Amino acid sequence: MKKHSSQPRASDSPPEGLETLTLGINAMGAQGDGVARVGDAAVHIPFTLAGEIVQADVAGAKGRLIAVDASSPERVEPVCRHFGVCGGCALQHWAATPYDAWKAGLVEAALAQARVRAPAVETLKTYPVASRRRAAFTARKDEGALRLGFNAARSHDLVDIEECPILLPRLAAALPHLRAGLKGAMADRGEAKIQVTAADNGLDVAIAGPRLASSARHALESELQAADAIRASWNGEALFINGVPRVGFGGARVSLPGGAFLQAVEACERDMAAFTVEALDAAGAGKGPVCDLFAGLGAFTFPVAARASVTAYEDNAAAVAALSAAAKETKGLKPVKAIRRDLFRSPLGFQELNAFAAAVVDPPREGAEAQARALAQSKIPAAVMLSCNPATFARDAAILAEGGFELTRLAAFDQFRYSAHVEVAALFRRPRTKKGRLSPALC
């Protein structure tokens, strides 16, 4: 078998209790690490695959790959030269078919652990490699040299990237311009954080860093405009605004507020919206009224509003304003109302929920435990829940199941390719016995 050597990482330093061991990888962990056994303890070793024999430095439950002595037939060549050093991707070395099965399995395992009865996950939706439309970079300048990139794996050390194949081509093409502009704008020993979003009509660039010298501003602006930036800011102050970045949701054109949440892959967002609309139709709730909880900018509000009236609840004031403005400008929609509300502190109560035919719920990674409890107490007949975290999704699904909901459709989407993240979408319906009482949905 071919032997593979791991790439050294700048952060590597021998921790206490370090041992160099030859180990067999038994399984893949939930974070994409290979899992070996040392006595009764599990050791997680990044960049390895089940069935491999590896050499690794081990300290406690963590290991660092030294070399692969016997490789898995599922091992493939990474698509990026920085893989194994850069912490942005964890699984470029794994063939597509077993990788896809593992991702769907993360969702199924989380539900099984929460004891929620569920159908099999539908075929995992996947997307082209170069499809990521937003990214967060770090830049550091030392002795006149600028490094721009991502943190090293499990480290705060910065990897200076020459390429990033997962980015949209127009976002990747901006990297040389960002590098050139920041090199002149930053002082030695300075650090900046750069958020770049590819809107439909240009890039939106937000930089946070030390004070920008007025003498460097013009050169930075020139490089950013050459990168096709339509709007740019430094520490919240506008560098230039050549137009308002816009994104499309179900026929609506929404202005993008600075710092607003946007799904990372546009095609994934469309697929999740299509799932939502189809699921509501299947539940007999496609004509509303519908409440959209944690609505953001309206990624699901507007597709649903093509068929049903929607009340969208969101805590971010700028997102609420952008959603409302787009709703007024878009023809052919059923009534859309946007309301600012912190659904963590003040979830919709069961009586408020009873006014709706269905709910769409798309919370952040921490899930929507309080809102799920109110849904469980309500009489609302259907809910579509979307999530980027199988663990909190399963917790909330168990709450809904305890309240009489049945999980009848389940899908997964690989929006963050080569990572352990997976998006989930599910339809929950209230089954009823012949007497009209709610049926239990836990196994």
Contact 283, 429 (CB under 8 A): yes
DSSP readout, 211-232?
PPPHHHHHHHHHHHHHTTEEEE
388 is catalytic: yes
**Long-range contacts, stretch 342-347, CB < 8 angstroms, 24+ apart:** 342/315, 343/293, 343/294, 343/313, 343/315, 343/368, 343/370, 343/371, 344/315, 344/368, 344/370, 347/371, 347/373, 347/374
What gap in Å lies between CA 422 and CA 107, rounded to an integer? 8
- Is 362 annotated as a binding-site member? yes
Contact 257, 276 (CB under 8 A): no
- Is 263 annotated as a binding-site member? yes
What gap in Å lies between CA 205 and CA 203, rounded to an integer? 6
- Is 294 annotated as a binding-site member? yes
Contact 45, 65 (CB under 8 A): yes
Select which of 164, 268, 388, 443 is catalytic: 388
Q: At what angle do helices 390-402 and 96-113 cross, to 10 degrees?
A: 40
Binding residues for S-adenosyl-L-methionine, as ranges, are: 263, 294, 314, 362
- The set of catalytic residues is 388
Binding residues, as ranges, are: 263, 294, 314, 362
